[in-house]
């Protein structure tokens, strides 16, 4: 069995870092993903809820803002809860295991490619020019 979603879309709002009572970092955000469409048809967008934990949550909150393109990979999870009126509700969300940049921010166009960061916050050594200081 396989449960993995891959989303590429734009953040619907700035992500906000929160802490659980035990101090674990968490953030919830929404990714707006456009559906495929044919010429002449109206474009449609799905708004997918995502939750990220620990270092992934910190990474998202540090490097992403509303309107920026983001790639998210992780399982789809459901949970049940009671709202403030006592009604039973069901939430469906993607739990982000991996988060990546997609595209270049306007302010980054002049930065060298090697200055970009991977989701773990370390320089991405797979970028061209990252090994320029190696003797071979």
For 86-106, what is each residue's pLDDT tens digit? Answer: 999 999 999 999 999 987 655
On whether both 118 and 55 belong to a single domain, the answer is no
Half-sphere exposure of 52 (CA within 13 A, CB side): 26
On whether both 112 and 99 belong to a single domain, the answer is no
On whether both 96 and 48 belong to a single domain, the answer is yes
Q: Within 10 Å of residue 136's Cβ, how many Cβ atoms?
A: 3
On whether both 13 and 47 belong to a single domain, the answer is yes
Dihedral angle sign, alpha carbons of residues 100, 102, 105, 108: positive
pLDDT at position 105 is 54
pTM over 0.75: no
On whether both 18 and 49 belong to a single domain, the answer is yes
Rounded to whole angstroms, the Cα distance separating 27 from 35 reads: 25
Rounded to whole angstroms, the Cα distance separating 56 from 34 reads: 24
On whether both 47 and 19 belong to a single domain, the answer is yes
Residue with tokens 């010429």: 39
Q: Where are the alpha helices (DSSP H) in 1-136?
A: 54-63
- Number of domains the chain is built from: 2
| CB-based contact 126:118 (threshold 8 Å) | no
Which residue range forms the structural domain that includes residue 10? 5-103
pLDDT at position 98 is 95
User: Strand runs (DSSP E) across the chain, as ranges?
Assistant: 5-11, 18-19, 25-34, 45-53, 69-74, 76-82, 88-95, 98-101
pLDDT at position 122 is 40
pLDDT at position 106 is 54
pLDDT at position 40 is 84
On whether both 118 and 76 belong to a single domain, the answer is no
pLDDT digits (tens, 9 = 90+) for 33-92: 999 888 888 889 999 999 999 999 999 999 999 999 999 999 999 999 999 999 999 999
């Amino acid at each position: 069995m396989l449960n993995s979603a891959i989303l590429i879309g734009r953040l619907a709002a700035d992500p906000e870092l929160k802490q659980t009572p035990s101090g674990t970092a968490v953030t919830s955000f929404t990714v707006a993903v456009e559906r495929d469409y044919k010429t002449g048809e109206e474009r449609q967008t799905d708004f997918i809820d995502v939750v990220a934990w620990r270092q992934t949550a910190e990474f998202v909150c540090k490097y992403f803002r509303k309107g920026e393109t983001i790639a998210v990979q992780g399982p789809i999870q459901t949970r049940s809860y009671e709202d403030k009126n006592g009604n039973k509700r069901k939430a469906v969300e993607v739990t982000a295991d991996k988060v990546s940049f997609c595209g270049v921010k306007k302010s980054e166009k002049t930065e060298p490619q090697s200055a970009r960061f991977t989701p773990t916050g370390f320089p991405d050594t797979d970028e061209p020019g990252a090994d320029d200081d190696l003797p071979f």
